[in-house]
Structure 1
Amino acid sequence: MSAVAGSLEDVPNLTPGPDERPKVLEFFAGIGLARLGLEAAGFEVSWANDYEPAKFEMYKKQFENADKHNYVVGDIHSVSVDQLPKNATVAWASSPCTDLSLAGSRGGLQSGESMAFWHFVKLLAELEEDRPRIAVLENVVGLASSHGGDDLTAAIKAFNSLGYSVDVLTIDARRFVPQSRPRLFVVASLETPLSADEKPNELRPAFLQSFFADPSLRTHRAALPAPPPIMTTGLSDTVEQMGDDDSRWWDGERVNKFETSLSTIQLDRVNKLKSAGEFTYRTAYRRTRNGVATWEVRPDDISGCLRTARGGSSKQAVVRLGLGDIKVRWMTPLEYARLMGAGDFDLSAARTNQALFAFGDAVAVPVVRWLSENYLRPLAGRPTTSDHSREVVHDG
C-alpha cells in the first residue's frame, strides 16, 4: 500500500463478517482496561504489549486466556513487525504520557518515555498492506498543548503519511464514573466517515479547532451522539465500606496533622461537612505550598484524577465526614478499580501499590466502550469503498 497521504486504492476489504469480532492490536496494554472496553463493544484483542511484568501479572489474572493470548512483555522498541497478527482492524495505543502531562516533564513526544509513540508509528508503517484500518492514540489532554501544539501536529502528520485521515476529540471519564479524568483521543482512519460534525462541541472544544483548520493536515470530524453529561456526585456511592476499627483508617495523631495542614477555607469546608447529620466522602491530595506539605480536600462528591502512585503527592486520601467525626485513609485498590469503571477486576493477587500504579496509569473502561460503540465499531463495520468514493475528504 502506498504511504502517500490520500492514496487508498490498495486497501484490501477487511470488513469483518457478521459473526466475526474485529481484531485489535493493543499497544501499551498495561492491565488491559482498554481491552475491557473494546471487547464490551464487540471487538477482540488478539495481541498486546507492555513493558512492565507487574502489569502483565494483573492482566494474566484478569483474562483467563492470557497465557494463550499473545501478550509480549518488553519495551515496544524490541517489538518487530513479524510479531504482529496481520488481520487486525484496529491498533490501539495508550502511549506513555510521562513527558506530556502537566504533572510530568513536558518534554514532549521527542522526550523520554513518550518517544515510544514513534515506534508504534514505525510498526504501522511496516505492516504495509496489512495495516489496520483504524488506529487510536489515547493520551493526556496535554498532548494538544505540548510545544505549542507542535507535538499533536507531528502525530497527525505521522498518521497522514500512512494514509490515515485523523479526528481528535477529548472525553472526560467523569461522564461515566465519579472521577475527573479528561483524555485526548486521536482516531486515525484509512477511510473518512461519511457523516461530519464541523462545529465545536463538548467532544471537540475550541482548543482543538486549530488542528482541523490547518490545511497541511488531513482531518475529519465524525458525527457522534452527545456523550453522557458530566457527573456531579457519585464518589460516596463508590467508596469501599469498612468499619471504624479497620486498621486502614489513620490514627488520631495523623488525622490531627491532616486537619492542621488545611488552609482556613479548607478547614471551614471540612468542619461544615463534619457537623452534618450523615456521612459524606471527599478525596484529598497532599500538596507542597511554599515548601510545606499541606492537604487539599475536593469540594465535591467526585474523585480527583487517579495517578500512578509513585509518592505521597500522587496518592489520594479518602475523607469520611459527618456526625461530628472525621476519618481519613488512603484510597484502596478496589476504589481505584471502581473509579476506572472496572469494579469487577480480579485484584486477588495484586499488591496494593502495584494495583494503584496500574490503575492510575490506565484508561477508564466506559470511555473506551463508548468510543468503540459509537465510533470505532460503526467505522470498522463499513465496507471499504471503491473508485471515486475512496477519495479522502480534506477538512480545513
Structure 2
Amino acid sequence: MKITRTLRSVPTGPDASMPTAAEFFAGIGLVRLGLEQAGIKVVWSNDIEPAKKEMYIGHFGENADHVFVSGDVGEINGNEMPSNLGLAWASFPCTDLSLAGWRRGLKGSESSTFWGFTKVLREMEHSRPPVVALENVVGFATSHGGEDLAEAIRELNSLGYSADVLTLDARRFVPQSRPRLFVVGALNPPEDGPIINSDLRPDWLQSPFGDPTLRTHQAALPTPPPPLTSGLSDYVEHVGPEGWWESKRRDAFVASLSPIQAERLEKLKAQPVRTYRTAYRRTRNGKPTWEIRPDDISGCLRTARGGSSKQAVVEVGAGDVRVRWMTPSEYAKLMGAEEYTLKNLRSNQALFGFGDAVCVPVVSWLAQNYLVPLMQGKLQKSATPELAVVNG
C-alpha cells in the first residue's frame, strides 16, 4: 500500500521541551489522548485504516506540529522518522494473539506487523527513542506457550532495550472489563524495584522474568486503583422508545437464554428498580444464544465487524425488559473518551474504532507513573509504591 502523509514536517514549537512520542497503529487516537493527559506530546502517528484516520483527523484536526502517515507500517522508512523522540508506542493488531482468534501468533498476517514496527526502530539506528511501549491482549503472554512474547522481547533486546512486562485492566478506571498486556522497553532501564506488584505482574506473567536468555527489568510502580465492581448504569445513554428493540426481537433475545441466564434475568426483572446489564451473542452447540453479564460492568468492547461482536444493553426491572445495541456514545464513555468527536460518524465506524482502541485512563496512568519518569530518568528505584489514581 502506498504511504501518504497529511503533513511533511514536525516544526519545533514553544512546547518543544515536552517529551515527544510517535504512535504506531494509532487507530482513532485514544493512546494520544492518554499520553497527552500525562504531558507527552504526540508528533507523529500511523495507521492503515482509512475509516480510523477519518475519525482521528475529525477529532484532532490537522496542524503544523503533527504528522499522520497513512499506510502499511512495513513501508515506513525509519530514516524519515522525527528526531529526538522520547517514546514509540505500538498497539499492533491482536487478531492472531487473541484467545478468540486462530492463535497464529507473531507469524499471523496481522499480528506479524510487529516486525514492521521493529524494522522502523532498527532503521532509526542511533536516533531510536529511549522508551518503547507495546500494547496487546493478555493472550499475547500465552500465545504459542509464551514463545511469541519471548520472541518479541528478544527482538527488543536486539535493539538495545531491556523489557518490563505488566498487565492493566481498564476496569480499574472505567466500568468495562478490558485486561491488556504492556511491554515497556528501555535503553536505560531502572533498577528492579524491591516489591513485585502482583496486581501488575501476576503469577501467569512471571515467565519472561525467569528466562535467562531475555534481558528484563521490573520497575517499582504505584499500586493502581482497585477494580470497579459497578458503574455501568451511570454510563448508559438515555434514548427514546424508538431506540429499543421491538417486542418480537426482544422476545427472541429472551428465548435464546440458557436456563441459568433466564433465571438471572427473571430475578433482575422482579426487582422494583431498573438496572442495566450488557450482553453478547455467542454460539453454543451450534446455536446462537445471548449471555448477560451478572454485574453492573460492561463486557470488553470489541470491533463491530459483525453481530456477534456488538454488545447489547439490557434494561431490566419493575417487571419489564428492554434490549438495544450499545451506542457510540456509550462506547466512547467506556473507553474514557467521553468528549470524543462523534458528529457525522457512521455508527459501525464509531463502534469499530472504539472497540479496537486502548482505554484512555489506562494509557494516562501508565504514562504518568512509568513512561514519563522513565524518559526523564526520574523513575523511583527504591521507594515504597503508593496508590496512584488518574482521573479518567
Asked whether the two chains share a fold, i.e. TM above 0.5, the reply is yes
Q: Counterpart in 1 of 2:91?
A: 94
Report the CA distance between 1:82 and its aligned residue.
Answer: 3.0
CA distance in 1, matches of 2:277, 2:20: 40
Two-structure CA RMSD over aligned residues (Å): 1.6
CA distance in 2, matches of 1:260, 1:298: 17
Q: Counterpart in 2 of 1:380?
A: 375
Q: How many residues align?
A: 366
CA distance in 2, matches of 1:120, 1:62: 25
Q: Judging changes above 3 Å, is the alpha-carbon distance between structure 1 residues 383 and 242 closer, same or farther for their aligned structure 2 residues?
A: closer
Q: Counterpart in 1 of 2:28?
A: 31
Q: Any idea what the Cα deviations from partners look like across 1:80-139, whole Å, max 9, x if unmatched?
A: 113310110000000000100011120000111101000111111111110100000000
Partner residue of 2:117 out of 93, 116, 120: 120
Does residue 230 of structure 2 align to residue 240 of structure 1? Answer: no
Q: Counterpart in 1 of 2:39?
A: 42
CA distance in 2, matches of 1:249, 1:383: 52
Report the CA distance between 1:69 and its aligned residue.
Answer: 2.3
Q: Which consecutive residues of structure 2, in runs of 5 or more, have no partner in the other structure?
A: 1-13, 380-392
Q: Counterpart in 1 of 2:364?
A: 369
Q: Which consecutive residues of structure 1, in runs of 5 or more, have no partner in the other structure?
A: 1-16, 385-396
Does the residue aligned with 2:323 lie in a helix, a strand or coil? strand
Runs of 4 or more, structure 1, over 6 Å off, are none
Q: Counterpart in 1 of 2:293?
A: 298
Q: TM-score, normalised by structure 1?
A: 0.90
Report the CA distance between 1:196 and its aligned residue.
Answer: 1.3
CA distance in 2, matches of 1:330, 1:19: 44
Report the CA distance between 1:192 and its aligned residue.
Answer: 1.3
Does residue 215 of structure 2 align to residue 218 of structure 1? Answer: yes
CA distance in 2, matches of 1:264, 1:19: 61
CA distance in 2, matches of 1:22, 1:211: 29
CA distance in 1, matches of 2:128, 2:58: 30
Q: Judging changes above 3 Å, is the alpha-carbon distance between structure 1 residues 85 and 125 closer, same or farther for their aligned structure 2 residues?
A: same
Q: Judging changes above 3 Å, is the alpha-carbon distance between structure 1 residues 171 and 87 closer, same or farther for their aligned structure 2 residues?
A: same
CA distance in 2, matches of 1:357, 1:383: 38
Where do 1:183-332 residues align within 5 Å?
183-194=180-191, 196-197=193-194, 199=196, 201-243=198-240, 245=241, 247-332=242-327
CA distance in 1, matches of 2:345, 2:71: 20
Percent sequence identity over aligned pairs: 60
Higher mean alpha-carbon deviation, 188-197 vs 316-325, is at 188-197
Amino acid at match of 1:152: L
Larger RCO (CA within 8 A; separation ≥ 6): 1
Report the CA distance between 1:198 and its aligned residue.
Answer: 5.1
Report the CA distance between 1:19 and its aligned residue.
Answer: 7.2
Does residue 41 of structure 2 align to residue 78 of structure 1? Answer: no
CA distance in 2, matches of 1:199, 1:77: 36
Q: Judging changes above 3 Å, is the alpha-carbon distance between structure 1 residues 18 and 194 closer, same or farther for their aligned structure 2 residues?
A: farther
Higher mean alpha-carbon deviation, 32-41 vs 306-315, is at 306-315
Amino acid at match of 1:155: A
Q: Judging changes above 3 Å, is the alpha-carbon distance between structure 1 residues 294 and 18 closer, same or farther for their aligned structure 2 residues?
A: closer
